[in-house]
């Protein structure tokens, strides 16, 4: 996938203009299950943190789970409180026996960290802490891999974009990653026997790639 994404981003001429590297938590809206088709209703849901049913012909099972009590912004803040002098290099959201967790990975100049955060109650634990390899130390890894967290689209908006590619699907996993200079979501959508991975620019919402695993 990384090699495919690198080729796509290099040749596609996306011209994505990314903002600075610091997090802007005001732009990270709460994660919700939503079926809305208008931007006004999406904004309303993000403000209230609730899900709204819609009678239009959009997909219904957005996440395969209830709305998260802990938002993406909350998860980022929890990590940053523990490791304020590091940068986030990856965020995975996945289901473990019916409960969703954020897996947040980050680095400082010489060490990599990973914590697991319960999406229902915010409880967290350190999953991994290890020294970087010699060629990754002294800030090399953090300069290359740090995510751009400015002006992220809400998870609601990312869900809607992914489901526009797979209208009858159910989202079961998200991964926020970086390739070249682009921070993007890879969203896994289950549609019957198919697993569809939709890569979405985290700032612009452009669909970068859709890959089907039968």
pLDDT in tens, 159-182: 999 999 999 999 999 999 999 999
CATH of the domain spanning 2-10+19-213: 3.10.450.40
Q: In the prediction, which pLDDT does 214 show?
A: 67
Question: What does the pLDDT read at residue 135?
Answer: 95
Angstrom distance (rounded) from CA 171 to CA 58: 14
69-101 pLDDT, tens digit each: 999 999 999 999 999 999 999 999 999 988 999
How far apart are alpha carbons 161 and 58 in whole angstroms? 11
Note the pTM of the prediction, 2 decimals.
0.70
Give whichever of 26-30, 52-56, 66-70, 87-91 has the largest mean pLDDT: 87-91
- How much is the pLDDT for 207? 98
Question: Would you place residue 63 in the very low, low, confident or very high pLDDT band (cuts 50, 70, 90)?
Answer: low
Placement of tokens 């800030």 in the chain:
139
Q: What does the mean pLDDT of the chain come to?
A: 78
DSSP H helices, the chain, are 2-12, 39-48, 72-82, 140-145, 155-165
Query: Across residues 58-62, what is the average pLDDT?
Result: 42
Closest to 207 measured CA to CA, from 185, 190, 188, 191:
185
Residue, of 53 and 98, whose pLDDT is higher = 98
pLDDT digits (tens, 9 = 90+) for 117-126: 999 999 999 9
- Encode pLDDT of 105-115 as tens digits: 999 999 999 99
Q: Where are the domains of the chain?
A: 2-10+19-213
Assess contact for 42 and 154: CB atoms under 8 A: yes
């Amino acid at each position: 996938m990384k090699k495919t994404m690198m080729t796509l981003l290099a040749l596609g001429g996306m011209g994505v203009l990314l903002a600075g590297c610091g997090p802007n938590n005001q732009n990270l809206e709460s994660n919700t299950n939503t079926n809305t088709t208008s931007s006004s209703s999406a904004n309303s849901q993000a403000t209230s943190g609730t899900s709204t049913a819609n009678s239009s012909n959009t997909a219904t099972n957005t996440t395969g789970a209830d709305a998260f009590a802990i938002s993406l912004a909350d998860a980022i803040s929890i990590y940053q409180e523990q490791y304020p002098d590091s940068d986030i290099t990856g965020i995975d959201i996945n289901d473990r026996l019916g409960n969703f967790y954020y897996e947040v990975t980050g680095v400082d100049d010489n060490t990599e960290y990973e914590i697991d955060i319960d999406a229902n109650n915010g409880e967290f634990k350190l999953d991994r802490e290890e020294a970087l390899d010699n060629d990754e130390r002294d800030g090399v890894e953090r300069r290359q891999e740090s995510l751009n967290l400015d002006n992220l689209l809400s998870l609601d908006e990312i869900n809607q974009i992914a489901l526009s590619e797979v209208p009858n699907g159910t989202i079961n996993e998200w991964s926020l990653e970086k390739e070249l200079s682009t921070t993007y979501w890879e969203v896994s959508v289950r549609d019957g026997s198919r697993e569809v991975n939709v890569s979405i620019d985290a700032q612009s919402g452009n669909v970068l790639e859709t890959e089907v695993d039968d």
